[in-house]
């Protein structure tokens, strides 16, 4: 009761005294008072009694008392004291696991008397437990001491101790119900706090000894299978398993239960080979101890597999399948051989342990070594077409050679190498070369050796060839098919070609080669075509096609932003070097038909332009060579087609080159002769005014180019055209009837033309252009022959046109040199022949001599009488009167009146009447003729009458021109009132100021008129009209003054 008291620290002296009494009562029977007195007066014991502070100290005091009593007690009391001593020892053990005050202080030290605290010789298991509570321990000890005292009073001197031979005597102490309950609570508490081993030890100590046959059964039932299994799991699951202790625990169980426990541990540990190795070791020892041979062999196998599982785990090799299934041992061997750090000694040991064929292992080791290395491209970016240098795996070479030297079965080795030759990566040139070299040494058949030697030559070529194109679809599909674990070929495939396709000559080989060919690589492939067994002509064809395709794609990508120019004709060469390279490559094709077909393919792909023409010309030359070397009609037909296409393309190129690529001309490229005739009828040649302008196309150069391409004689064509166009048209419409000798100007300068000649004959203009393109001496000689021809069949108009052409293309010196006449005589002849021609047009047949002998007054009068209703006759009359001084006033009055009426009726153009009036304005004696004033008034008012408001730009220009005639050229007085009214109606106030300033009848206040016009409108109209003609000085001053005021 005192032991269980929580206030035991206050009753320490009482407890000691009680214990002393208990001990003395035991010693009293010794009949030795001196010894008892000596013991009770011991100074050491008294010192301990004075230092009791906790239950542990109290237990130690009891233990010391019992120990002292054992020294002096009688023999029949030894067992009884040993029993109480055992309970004290158990208490010390339990109290040592309780919480200790000051354990974290430096002064606390672990008991060094226990040798196992510093044991280092073998693994020693210690529970990883938590401190236990003092209460359960104290309760057990208190109940044990109480039970012991009770048993001693009942049976003094009996042998009722825990270690008696009789089980009934043991029950003397343990038959206390309270003690049993306390022991059960203590055991549970120990297990909860992790003191499993201590719980088992206490259970063993409290179990009485029995026969061996009964011991195992009772142990199993008493201590529990599950408890022992849990302790085994902790022991073997530790970092340093205590195997002897585990075996000792197994002996506490029945054999079947022990094996069951081992099997359960195996299941729990799975593939933790270190722990399984401990289980196997414990199992082996247990089976050896109990003579279980067959089961021990199983544990030996398990020990071997666990040992290899542990060793292989160091190489990160899975042994799971092989651990469970012996058939998977070979698979593990493959993984082991594949490890780069695996020495062959380990492989040899593995084969011996599992009875594997060492030769097969070497073969497998060689295969694995061959697959352990693959070439890798450099990490930095490499441009396509650059040669990638790969460092040879010399260590792999040495390793493979060492393995090969160890293999004695040559046929087996050869069989494996043949398989690896097909199975190894096509881009692994280094190891493929090693395999072929070994196969050559092993091969006895000469034909196969040559085949393998060719493979070495293929390797030599592929190693130094830089790949240009990435792997194609066929190559990728073949790689994925043969390497299902890979989604795409390795990176090195971007820089190396697949060896197997070239060595086996697969169907995809030509596709791979085709992608590599271009004008830069063709020479390399031609050198290797014999080794690779390729057709040289076919290689050249592919190279040409690939180069053209790549160039066009590049240009197409560059022209995406200018898609409108993509199909435009290229006048200049864009790829001259490309064409030369293509020509050289195609020229290497020995088969004429294939060369022609290849060149034809190039022509069809090139964009329209100069390059296409050059390619077509090369194609035509190749077709011509084919025709010359072959009598087959197919060659002749091909040449005709190529020649026709070249001619058409060259002609079209000429049109584009000289700015004549109009649809109507392009449509005639298939018939060059018709195109030439059409070009010489170009609209720019219809007028003498445009013959030599800078914007005029160079038609003659274009025709010369076409003739050179088509094989025509340009001189003959020009001569035919001269014969066609030099004679006047039959209708006579082509003759310029308004032109006279007076206003005709000789074009000594080839680029000068008459600005007023707006009605030049189109055919005459074309003839002049043709003649200017010919050698001048020949052209002058031809024209003089026509102009001075006295043949009656040659009309005067014909001679006139020839003469006009002569004066247009040659200078005075050239004409005098060729004809021997002065220019003045030629001018006189020109004047005479002009009038003769005009008279012929009007139906008055005459010739040069007859006209010179005619009376011009009579001729004028005759024309007036017979053809005064003909506007052409009237213009001829005015020219005759002016040139031959016929100044009859009545005649001029009648002619001007008639021409004015013709203008109003629209039968005469205003420019014709204006030209006549300007020519006679200097004849002052005609100013008094009323018809002259009427004519001037009519042409000045004519544009205003034709205009409407709002006035158009053309009408405004015509009105401004009429006012300019009024201000600068009109010699008579014209009434301005109608003009001012017209300006008001047409909203031309600024032009009205200019008209008012020219009024000679009535004076006008120009400033007042200007101030009435809105200033913004005035200034705007003034700035616009000022660009068209010059205002009178007075009007300019007024408007400038208004500007300054603004």
The predicted-structure confidence for 81-102, as pLDDT tens digits, reads as follows 888 888 888 887 787 778 776 6
The Cβ of residue 842 has, within 10 Å, a number of other Cβ atoms equal to 15
Residue 701 has pLDDT above 50, yes or no: yes
Residue 820 has pLDDT above 80, yes or no: no
Contact 995, 986 (CB under 8 A): no
435: confidence class by pLDDT, cuts 50, 70, 90: very high
Q: Give pLDDT, residue 48.
A: 52
Residue 443 has pLDDT above 80, yes or no: yes
pLDDT tens for residues 641-656?
999 999 999 999 999 9
Average pLDDT over residues 461-490: 88
DSSP-assigned letter for residue 126: -
The pair of three-digit structure tokens given for residue 218, joined into one six-digit string: 């009772």
The Cβ of residue 716 has, within 10 Å, a number of other Cβ atoms equal to 10
56: confidence class by pLDDT, cuts 50, 70, 90: confident
Of 108, 92, 105, 14, nearest to 55 by C-alpha is 92
- Name 481's Cβ contacts closer than 8 Å, sequence gap at least 6: none
Which of 314-328, 497-511, 586-600, 741-755 has the least mean pLDDT? 741-755
Which of 553-557, 570-574, 787-791 has the least mean pLDDT? 787-791
Q: Give pLDDT, residue 927.
A: 84
Average pLDDT over residues 983-996: 84
The span from the CA of 587 to the CA of 540, in Å, is 9
Q: Give pLDDT, residue 105.
A: 61
3-state SS, one letter per residue, for 331-379: HHHHHHHHCCCCCHHHHHHHHHHCCCCHHHHHHHHHHHHHCCCCCCCCC
Contact 526, 537 (CB under 8 A): no
Average pLDDT over residues 419-432: 92
Q: Give pLDDT, residue 667.
A: 92
DSSP string of 892-933, one letter each residue: HHHHHHHHHHHHHHTSS-HHHHHHHHHHHTT-GGGTT-HHHH
Helical axes 33-40 vs 55-72, angle rounded to 10°: 150
Q: Give pLDDT, residue 877.
A: 85
The span from the CA of 962 to the CA of 671, in Å, is 51
Residue 582 has pLDDT above 80, yes or no: yes
pLDDT tens for residues 158-201?
444 444 444 444 445 556 777 888 888 888 888 878 787 888 88
Average pLDDT over residues 327-348: 78
Backbone angles phi, psi at 132, to 5 degrees: -95, 165
| Percent of residues, the chain, with pLDDT higher than 90 | 18
pLDDT tens for residues 243-292?
888 888 888 888 899 889 888 888 888 888 888 888 888 888 889 999 88
The span from the CA of 554 to the CA of 564, in Å, is 17
Average pLDDT over residues 681-697: 75
DSSP-assigned letter for residue 949: S
pLDDT tens for residues 725-756?
888 775 443 344 444 444 444 333 333 333 33
Signed CA dihedral, 670, 673, 674, 679: sign only: positive
Ranges of H-type helices in 970-1032: 977-985, 989-997, 1006-1012, 1015-1026
Contact 69, 26 (CB under 8 A): yes
113: confidence class by pLDDT, cuts 50, 70, 90: low
The span from the CA of 433 to the CA of 99, in Å, is 76
pLDDT tens for residues 32-55?
444 444 444 444 555 555 556 677
The span from the CA of 1010 to the CA of 992, in Å, is 10
Furthest-apart CA pair in the chain: how many Å? 207
Residue 635 has pLDDT above 80, yes or no: yes
Which of 278-287, 554-563, 792-801 has the least mean pLDDT? 554-563
């Amino acid at each position: 009761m005192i032991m269980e008291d929580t206030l035991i620290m206050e009753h320490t002296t009482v407890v000691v005294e009680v214990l002393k009494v208990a001990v003395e009562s035991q010693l009293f029977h010794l009949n030795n008072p001196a010894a008892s007195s000596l013991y009770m007066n011991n100074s050491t014991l008294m010192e301990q009694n004075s230092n009791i502070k906790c239950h542990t100290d109290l237990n130690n005091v009891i233990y010391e008392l019992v120990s002292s009593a054992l020294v002096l007690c009688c023999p029949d009391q030894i067992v009884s004291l040993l029993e109480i001593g055992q309970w004290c020892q158990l208490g010390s053990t339990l109290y040592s696991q309780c919480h200790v005050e000051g354990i974290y202080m430096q002064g606390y030290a672990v008991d060094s008397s226990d040798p196992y605290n510093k044991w280092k010789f073998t693994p020693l298991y210690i529970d990883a437990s938590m401190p236990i509570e003092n209460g359960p321990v104290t309760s057990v000890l208190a109940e044990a001491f109480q039970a012991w005292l009770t048993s001693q009073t009942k049976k003094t001197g009996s042998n009722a101790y825990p270690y008696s031979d009789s089980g009934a005597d043991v029950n003397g102490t343990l038959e206390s119900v309270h003690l049993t309950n306390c022991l059960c609570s203590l055991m549970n508490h120990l297990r909860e706090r992790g003191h499993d081993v201590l719980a088992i030890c206490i259970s063993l100590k409290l179990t009485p000894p029995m026969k061996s046959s009964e011991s195992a059964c009772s142990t199993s039932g008493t201590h529990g299978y599950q408890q022992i299994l849990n302790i085994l799991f902790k022991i073997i699951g530790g970092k340093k398993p205590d195997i002897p202790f585990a075996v000792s625990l197994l002996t506490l169980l029945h054999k079947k239960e022990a094996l069951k426990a081992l099997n359960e541990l195996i299941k729990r540990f799975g593939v933790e080979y270190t722990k399984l190795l401990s289980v196997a070791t414990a199992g082996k020892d247990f089976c050896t101890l109990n003579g279980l041979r067959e089961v021990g062999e199983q544990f030996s196998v398990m020990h071997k597999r666990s040992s290899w599982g542990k060793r292989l785990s160091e190489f990160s090799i899975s042994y799971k399948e092989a651990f469970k299934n012996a058939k998977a041992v070979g698979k593990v061997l493959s993984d082991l051989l594949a490890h780069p750090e695996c020495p062959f000694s380990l492989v040899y040991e593995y084969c011996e342990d599992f009875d594997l064929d060492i030769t097969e292992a070497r073969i497998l080791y060689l295969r694995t070594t061959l697959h352990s290395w693959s070439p890798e491209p450099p990490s930095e970016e490499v441009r396509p077409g650059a040669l990638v240098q790969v460092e040879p795996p010399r260590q792999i070479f040495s390793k493979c050679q060492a393995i090969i030297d160890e293999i004695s079965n040559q046929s087996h080795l050869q069989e494996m190498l043949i398989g690896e030759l097909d199975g190894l990566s096509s881009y692994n040139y280094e190891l493929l070369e090693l395999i072929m070299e070994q196969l050559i040494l092993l091969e006895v058949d000469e034909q196969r050796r040559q085949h393998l030697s060719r493979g070495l030559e293929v390797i030599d070529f592929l190693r130094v060839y830089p790949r240009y194109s990435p792997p194609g679809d066929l190559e990728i599909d073949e790689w994925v098919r043969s390497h299902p674990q890979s989604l795409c070929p390795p990176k090195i495939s971007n820089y190396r070609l697949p060896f197997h396709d070239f060595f086996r000559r697969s169907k995809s080989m030509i596709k791979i080669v085709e992608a590599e060919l271009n004008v830069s690589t063709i020479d390399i492939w031609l050198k290797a075509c014999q080794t690779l067994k390729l057709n040289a002509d076919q290689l050249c064809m592919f190279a040409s096609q690939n180069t053209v395709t790549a160039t066009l794609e590049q240009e197409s990508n560059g022209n995406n932003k200018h898609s409108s120019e993509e199909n435009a004709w290229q006048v200049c060469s864009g790829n001259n070097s490309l064409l030369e390279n293509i020509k050289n490559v195609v020229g290497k094709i020995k088969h004429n038909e294939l060369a022609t077909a290849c060149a034809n393919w190039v022509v069809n792909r090139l964009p329209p332009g100069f390059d296409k023409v050059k390619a077509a010309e090369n194609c035509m030359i190749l077709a011509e060579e084919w025709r010359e070397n072959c009598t087959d009609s197919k060659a002749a037909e091909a040449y005709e087609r190529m020649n026709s296409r070249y001619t058409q393309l060259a002609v079209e190129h000429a049109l584009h080159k000289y700015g004549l690529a109009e649809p109507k001309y392009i449509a005639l490229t298939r018939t060059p002769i018709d195109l030439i005739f059409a070009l010489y009828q170009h609209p720019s040649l219809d007028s003498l005014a445009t013959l030599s302008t800078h914007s005029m196309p160079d038609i003659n150069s274009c025709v010369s180019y076409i003739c050179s391409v088509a094989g025509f004689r340009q001189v003959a064509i020009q001569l035919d055209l001269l014969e066609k166009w030099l004679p006047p048209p039959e209708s006579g419409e082509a003759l310029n009837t308004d032109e006279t000798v007076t206003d005709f100007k000789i074009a000594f300068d080839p680029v000068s033309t008459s600005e007023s000649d707006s009605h030049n004959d189109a055919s005459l203009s074309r003839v002049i252009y043709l003649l200017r393109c010919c050698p001048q001496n020949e052209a002058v000689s031809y024209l003089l022959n026509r102009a001075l021809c006295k043949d009656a069949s040659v009309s005067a108009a014909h001679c006139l046109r020839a003469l006009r052409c002569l004066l247009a293309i040659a200078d005075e010196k050239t004409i005098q040199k060729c004809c021997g006449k002065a220019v003045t005589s030629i001018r006189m002849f020109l004047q005479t022949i002009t009038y003769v021609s005009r008279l012929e047009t009007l139906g008055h047949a005459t010739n040069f001599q007859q006209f010179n002998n005619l009376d011009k007054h009579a001729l004028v009068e005759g024309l007036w009488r017979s053809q005064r209703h003909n506007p052409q006759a009237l213009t001829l009359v005015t020219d005759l009167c002016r040139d031959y001084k016929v100044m009859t006033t009545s005649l001029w009055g009648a002619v001007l009146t008639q021409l004015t009426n013709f203008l109003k009726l629209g039968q005469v153009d205003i420019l014709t009447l204006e030209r006549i009036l300007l020519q006679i304005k200097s004849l002052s004696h005609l100013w008094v003729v009323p018809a002259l004033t009427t004519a001037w008034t009519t042409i000045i008012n004519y544009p205003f009458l034709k205009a409407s408001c709002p006035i158009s730009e053309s009408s405004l220009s015509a009105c401004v021109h009429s006012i300019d005639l009024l201000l600068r050229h009109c010699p008579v007085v014209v009434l301005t009132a109608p003009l001012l009214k017209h300006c008001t109606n047409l909203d031309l106030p600024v032009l009205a100021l200019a008209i008012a300033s020219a009024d000679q009848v009535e004076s006008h206040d120009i400033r007042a008129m200007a101030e009435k016009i809105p200033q913004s409108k005035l200034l705007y109209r003034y700035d616009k009209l000022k660009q068209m003609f010059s205002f009178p000085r007075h009007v300019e001053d007024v408007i400038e003054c208004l500007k300054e005021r603004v």
